[in-house]
Chain A
Amino acid sequence: MYKWRKLGLLLEPSTLAGKPEWFNEFAQAPNSILFDKFVRVYFCCRPQADAAGQYVSYCTYVDLNRNNLFEILSMAPKPVLALGELGSFDEFGTYPVSTIRDGADILACYGGWTRCESVPFNVSLGMARSTDGGNSFVKLGPGPVLSHSLDEPFVVTSPKIRKYGNTWFLAYTAGRKWMIADGRPEVVYKLRMAHSTDGINWTRLDRDIIPDRLGKDEAQACPDIFFWNGKYHMFFCYRQATDFRFSRERTYRIGYACSSDMLDWVRDDSKAGIEVSDEGWDSEMVAYPHVFELDGAIYMLYLGNQVGRYGFGLAKLEGTLD
């Protein structure tokens, strides 16, 4: 089993000074890009809910001191991505986001949210490119790069974009079914994969990449892949399909799988090595992991209770990933 030492809540929206109105609460889906002097963490935040209690979400970033990740050097002055036009797939939100360097540019893949009548939302994946060092992004087009397909009928979301050799990989989540629980539609989704030669046109693998552990209605998200010691390590999160929002026993935990080829994955959650705390901001759930290496150490950013409502925290790996 790997051993992650928790270093605490790194970004806490409620105590952040000088927050803009579009960043009221939530700091979700953190992903890092390393710069010489700082670590930029992209994440998603929300303004206050509207009169009907509905949220939109924006992509933004904080720059952390490379020598002390708990020191915030600066924050994005405005969202790095605009919401979509009337009727577009990303009209009501951009969440989650995943970023990667592409030469001098930075590419972002994000979940675009639309609102539906019978179910609350649908999601497709959009992409955007930054040519100004990651301060702002321009969408590659008004529509999604990965939408819905025969075998992935709705809620294509939770992207993690990677490039190994000359091949681009997109690990993500695809909806399997909507089920009604306590009168409310809840979505079950599974981890999926696509690959590409250009990072824009994607070919789907069209199968689940890991087996279920909690039965067929297990929901899986955030397949964060990290190459280390000659192997692909994937940390992700999973939960029960229903009654997961406030139930400590049914909500998100962090799982683990590894692969030698990005195709066949062996799931072994007992190795993940990070659990909920007895009390505090991550006492109910641990979710949406992101693993990165910085100056010889391996870190994990992750979300706690209510999927990042109170911010994201940092843990440091003791030992290595093998």
Chain B
Amino acid sequence: MKWQKLGLIFDPSQHDLGPDIVGYAQGPQALVFDDFVRIYFSARRQSANGKYVSSIRFIDFDKDFRRVVGVCDRPVIADGKLGTFDEHGIFPMNVLRVGDRIHAYTCGWSRRVSVSIDMAIGLAISDDHGRTFVRAGDGPVLSASLHEPFLIGDPCVRVHMGVYHMWYIFGTRWQAGGRDNEPERTYKIGHAVSADGRKWAREQALQIIPDRIGADESQALPTVIAIGGRHHMFFCYRESLDFRRNPARAYRIGHAWSDDLRHWTRDDQPALEGTAGGWDAEMQCYPNAFEHDGKIYLLYNGNEFGKHGFGLARLELDESDR
């Protein structure tokens, strides 16, 4: 299989996303309807102290992604309350249909003092076809635990054979060495299961995808999809230090496959290369795979973690992949 790149499909500077929004369209996540495709993403506004808060918006595309047929210019979910896990934003938000409702698994951010942030995973539910979501509770459904001490985020939830599966990331280390020697984080991809989507069981600190660039590899935003009876996971990975401005150490798209949802084989194929001089030349990150009209697509962000919007690629399958 290989990717057919379709280019940048959404540039946030070309749309009105609300009066507070200063840009960015990160972590695109698709929800397919009969006659359009809705894509949720995190736009940013600024707090009084200048730090960013991620706020969920969506746009609706026609079925061939040529025309925007709707733009949401207000938050689809209210801000988190004072002191809660998602008080300082949601990025990203993974959606899935459960009966007539849409469940959103949110990656909530809250700011810390000695390190920049912590994250935990929340649940919110929509009864209006995904236009607005209401939290199932003020707190998270998955948070720090004995051997996963911080930075629980980037959920991808799918129901397979009646069981809820969640792929997510957990932090393993904070280390000094960022800009001004600020602490930078390392995280890995883990897996949890649930009967009801609320109470989750996980194998503590089990890294399911092996490192490719060493122990300092940070793995983020897994997205899992079945293609021809095999499970495929796309994710992004980078070095833990000097990854923001150094393209050689920045996010790339990785890939692994599994036939039993337990054992994963990493091959990072098919490769999704950046286009020289283009919007995704320096990094490719935050993938979301979905099926639409019988084809597999991948949404992803490019340079500067999605500051300039997101693009789309379509998977061209070989006969052996079907």
Contacts and interface: CB of A to CB of B under 8 A. Distances in A.
Nearest to A140: B146
A142 B85 contact: no
B144 A143 contact: yes
A152 interface: yes
Contact of A118 (B111, B137, B171, B183): B111
A117 interface: yes
Nearest to A122: B83
Interface string A192-220: 00000000100000000000000000000
Nearest to A91: B114
A87 B141 CA distance: 21
B140 interface: yes
Nearest to B140: A148
Contact of B171 (A87, A144, A185): A87
Interface stretch (A11-19, A65-73, A172-180, A309-317): A172-180
Contacts of A142: 146-147, 149
Given A89-B149, A142-B149, A115 B140 contact: no
A293 to B, nearest CB: 32
A256 interface: no
Contacts, number: 127
A179 B81 CA distance: 10
B150 A88 contact: yes
B139 to A, nearest CB: 3
A153 interface: yes
B65 to A, nearest CB: 36
A150 B83 contact: no
B207 interface: no
A36 interface: no
Contacts of B198: 150
B112 interface: yes
A6 B204 CA distance: 47
Contacts of A85: 174
A151 B112 contact: no
Range for the number of chain B residues in contact with chain A: 35 or more
Nearest to A203: B199
A155 B114 CA distance: 18
Given A86-B174, A87-B112, A148-B120, A185 B143 contact: no
A153 B110 contact: no
Contacts of A148: 85, 120, 139-140, 143
Nearest to A154: B83
Interface in A118-139: 118-119, 122, 124, 127
A259 interface: no
Interface of B: 81-85, 87-88, 110-115, 118, 120, 122-123, 136-141, 143-151, 171, 174-176, 183, 185, 198, 204
Given A87-B150, A116-B112, 14 more contacts: A87-B183, A88-B150, A116-B110, A119-B83, A141-B204, A142-B149, A143-B146, A144-B144, A144-B149, A149-B137, A150-B141, A153-B83, A175-B83, A185-B83
9 contacts: A87-B115, A118-B82, A144-B149, A148-B120, A154-B84, A177-B83, A178-B81, A180-B82, A200-B146
